[in-house]
Structure 1
C-alpha cells in the first residue's frame, strides 16, 4: 500500500468559507422547471404546483443560493412574460434550446420556491437582446419597496414586500458565439459597466457578477477577462467562470467505451489551472487600476457533462419541457465532481460563489420521473457531504502524495484532499479522494495545533463498478457507507486508509464539546 502525508497548521488559513460556494443553478431548460421542480398534477405537488419530494431533496443539500433563470435562456428572455396572472402569460419560442416556454413559472414563483428550499436567488439579467432598461426595471420590480411603477406592479401581482435579491449576473456567457446577442469583449465590457451603474442607482446594496470566459478552451481566454475587467473593475464584485469537465474536445474521454479513468479523474487539474489564470488576470487589472478593491470569482457553472450529447440530438424541437441535457451519472462522474469540489474549496480565498450546474434533471444531482419518484444521482452525495460538513476555515495543506502519469496528464497526485476547521463547533472535516483505481492509500494527517479531537465517523463513497449509477428502478444502487476502524487519531496524528477509487469524509470533534 502506498503512503501519503498531509500537514496542516491551525493558524495557517486559506480563508473562511463563504457558504455561497455551495450554490446551484436552475435554468428554463429541458425539464429543470417543468416536471422538475414544478409539476401541478404530481401527487406530491403543493398548493403552488411545486413538487414536495424535490423540495425535500434540495433542502438536504443545503444550497444557500440558486442562479436563475439562465444560462443561455436568459439572453432571449423577457422577464415581464413570467409575471402577473398565469392565464395572461404568453407561450414563446425559446430559441436557445429550441423549446416552447409556457411562462407558468417566473420571477415571483421562483422566489417563493427558493424560500421553500431555504435558499436565495442569484438573478441573471438579459444582456443579449436587451440592456439598461430591462436591468433597471427588473431591479426596481424585485427590490424597491413601493410607490413606483414597477414596484407597484409587483405589489399588484401579490408581493407586497420586495424580494431583496442580493446577487445579480450581468448576462450569461457573452463570449460565446452560441449566445443570443454575443458580443466582443470591449462591447460587452462597455455595456456591462453602464448596466451596473444604473442597477446600483436603483439599489446600491446589490452585488454584481460580470461575465468571464465560458471555459479555458475559449479562443478569447484570458484576454476576455482582461478587457472586460478594465471596463468594469470598479463597478462589479465578481467575475464568473464556467467549466464542464469532459465536454467534446481534445481531452474528451468517452466512458465507459474508452475507460481511461486515470485521465478522467484528473480533469479537475484543468479547472485548477483555469482558476489560477483568472486570479492572475484579476490581479493584473487591479495593479493597472492602482486600486485596493478586490474582485472575487463566482464559479457559477461547473459540473461533469458528456453523457447526453447523443440523446439530445434525437429530441424533437419546439416542445414544452423536452428531455434535454439529462445526464445519467455514474460513480466515476461522482468522484470527479468530488475532486472539483475540493478544488473550489482550496481556492476559497478567491472563490466566494459557485453553482453546481444544474440542480434538477438538467446536468443534475436530482432526477425526477414525471408523475413518479425523485431520486439522487451519484453526484448528489459528495456535494451534500461538502455542503453539510464543509463550514468554517479552509486550512493550508502541505501534501506529499505518490503521483502517476496518464495518457493525458503527468504528475497526477493519487491524493486530492482539503481540511476544514469549524471553529464555532470545534469540528474538523477532512475531504479526501483516492485516485488509485486499483489500491487503497494510507494517509497520515499531521493536524498541528489540534489536540483532544476524536473520530466521529468516516464516510466512504465507492463502487466496485465505476460505471454504475442510480436509476428509477434502483435509486439506491450506489450510495455512501460508514467505514469502521479505518480512521484513528492519536494526539494530533490522524491515520486513515482510503479505499481504492473513493471519496472520503473523516469527521473529527473536540472531546468534551457537545
Structure 2
C-alpha cells in the first residue's frame, strides 16, 4: 500500500461520526433516561451513559426518529411533563408517555457534547407543523411559538442547524408513506417555507431506505427534481445481517455500501446536470449498522404484545464479526469523505447500539461495535487519504473480487498524526502489509491497536467483556517503509506521529 499527503480525498466532516436516538424500545426510557438509577442527574438522565457517549465523541445525534417521527406530534413533548398526553405510538405499537421530549433531549445532547439533528413529521403532518416546530426551536422571541418555548423555561433558542425532511418516506411500512412525486412536492414546499424562517439551516431530503428498494435510484432522481434548489443533503439508510451464517460473505457487504454510495452520488450529479445547477447535493448516511439478531423477538412484541411502555426491542447483542463489518463500513464512509458529510450509527443506546444497559436500572456496558466506532471517531479527524493498495482478492457466495485488505488513512496535519484503519477480512490467513509512507518523513509508530478474537461469534456482556482492543508491536517503521502484521479477521488502527 502507498499513502501520500498528496493523495487527498477531502477533509473529513466530523459529523460522519454521528449517531441516532429514537423513541423506540429502551433507547430513551431505561436507556439515557432512568430517574431511579444511582447515576441519574437532577433531570433523570444517567450520567454513566453520558460519559460513555462522550468517550465516543459523537458530534451530532438524529432525533426523535426514525419511523417514530411519522406519527410524532411535537407539541405533546413540550411543556409541563405532568400535563403531556400519553399517545399510541403507531410505528412500533408502543405507548409513548412523553416524559422525555424536545427540550429535555436538547439538554441531554448538550451535556453529551453533541448537537441535535432534528427530524420532522412529513408522514401524518406537513408544512405548517414543520414551520411551527422550527419557530419554536430557532426563533429568538416575540412570536407565538418562540414565546411558548420561553414559557416552557427555555429562554435561548436551540439553534438546531440540521433538519431531516421526514424519514424513509419510500417505505410502505412508514406511517403516511408517499409516492416519489407526493414526497418530492411536500418536501419542496416544506423546505422552501422552513428556509424563509431560518435561512441558515441545512436540510436533508429523504433518499432510499436501502439499496434493495424497488424504487432505487429512481426515487432519488424524481424527488431531487423537486427539492434540488432547497436542500443540502439526501439521506441513505442501510443495515446488514448474517442470516446465512457465512462470515466471509458477511464481511464483503461493505462493498455493497460502497456501491450504494457511488450510485447515489451519480444520481445527484445527474440531477445537478439536468438542472444546470451549481451546487453538489451531499450525502447524509443517517442510518447504518448491523441489524438482524433481534428480528423475531421484535415481531412478536409488535404483533402480540402491543402498547407497552419502552418494551425491549431491537436489542441485538453484537458479535466480534459484527464489529469487523462496522469497521469496514466506517472505512467506506471515510473513503467517501468528499460527498458523505454526515452519518449516523443507528442507534446509540440499547436499540441496535454500541452501548447497552441491563434492564430496570442495571449496569451499562460496551458492545463489540463500540470499539471500531470509538477509534474512528477519535483518530479519524483530518484529511482522508486514498490508499493505493495491491491486495489479494477472494470470492464469496454473493460477491466477487473481494479484497482481503480494506484500508484508509487519515492525516491530521494540526496534530502531526497519521492513522491507518485496516481490516483483514480474510478469515483464514494472516497478511503482512507493507506500506510506503515516505511522504511522512520523520514520523514514527505510536501504536498498533488490534481488535481480534478466535471466535467470530464472541460477544460482550455486563461485567463480561471478551472482545476489546489491545496494543501490539505488530508494526515497525524503517526508512519510510511500514511493515504491519494483520492477523486474520482483525480490525487494526496503526498510528504514526512526528
TM over 0.5: yes
Moved more, 374-383 or 258-267: 258-267
Supply the distance in 2 between the matched residues of 1:344 and 1:447 (Cα, whole angstroms).
23
CA distance in 1, matches of 2:481, 2:269: 37
Match of 2:233 among 234, 238, 256: 238
Match status 1:281 vs 2:276: no
How many correspondences in the alignment? 494
Structure 2 equivalent of residue 505 of structure 1: 493
1:473 Cα deviation from its structure 2 partner: 4.7
RMSD after superposition:
0.8
Give the secondary-structure state (helix, strand or coil) at the position aligned to 1:122.
strand
Match of 2:408 among 408, 418, 424: 418
**Which of 411, 427, 435 is the equivalent residue of 2:425?**
435
Aligned 1:331-480 pairs, distance under 5 A: 331-369=320-358, 370-474=360-464, 476-480=465-469
Identify the range of structure 1 (464-473 vs 117-126) with the bigger mean alpha-carbon deviation: 464-473
Q: Does 1:491 align with 2:469?
A: no
Indicate if the aligned counterparts of 2:365 and 2:463 stay in contact, CA closer than 8 A: no
| Deviation by residue 1:345-399 (Cα, 9 ceiling, x = unmatched) | 0000000000000000001000011221010000000000000001100012111
Match of 2:169 in 1: 174
**CA–CA distance in structure 1, aligned partners of residues 25 and 194 of structure 2:** 30
For 1:236 and 1:480, the matched residues in 2 are separated by 40
Provide, for residues 253-298 of structure 1, a one-character-per-residue CA deviation record: whole Å limited to 9, x for no partner: 32xxx53111011111111100010000001001001111111000
| Shift of residue 7, structure 1, vs aligned partner | 1.1
Q: CA deviation at 1:12?
A: 1.9
Encode CA deviations 1:450-473: one digit per residue, 9 max, x unaligned. Answer: 110000001000011110101125
Query: Contact conserved, 2:446 with 2:495, CA < 8 A, in 1?
Result: yes
Per the alignment, residue 93 of structure 1 pairs with 88
TM-score (normalizing by structure 1): 0.95
The alignment's TM-score, normalised by the length of structure 2, stands at 0.98
Give, in whole Å, the separation in 2 of the partners of 1:197 and 1:310. Answer: 42
Corresponding residue SS for 1:500:
coil
SS of residue matched to 2:277: coil
Contact 1:452 1:491 in 2 (8 A): no
How far apart in 2 are the matches of 1:454 and 1:332?
A: 31
Counterparts in 2 of 1:272-351, with a 5 A limit?
272-315=258-301, 316-351=305-340
Alpha-carbon offset, residue 482 of structure 1:
0.8
Of 121, 127, 131, which residue of structure 1 is paired with 2:116? Answer: 121
Query: Runs (4+) of structure 1 moved beyond 4 Å?
Result: none
Instruction: Describe how 1:43-58 pairs up with structure 2 within 5 A.
Output: 43-58=38-53
SS at match of 2:2: strand
Residue by residue, what CA displacement relative to the aligned partner does 1:463-503 show, whole Å, maximum 9, x if unpaired?
111101011251x111111112x101113211100111000
**SS in structure 1 at match of 2:136:** helix
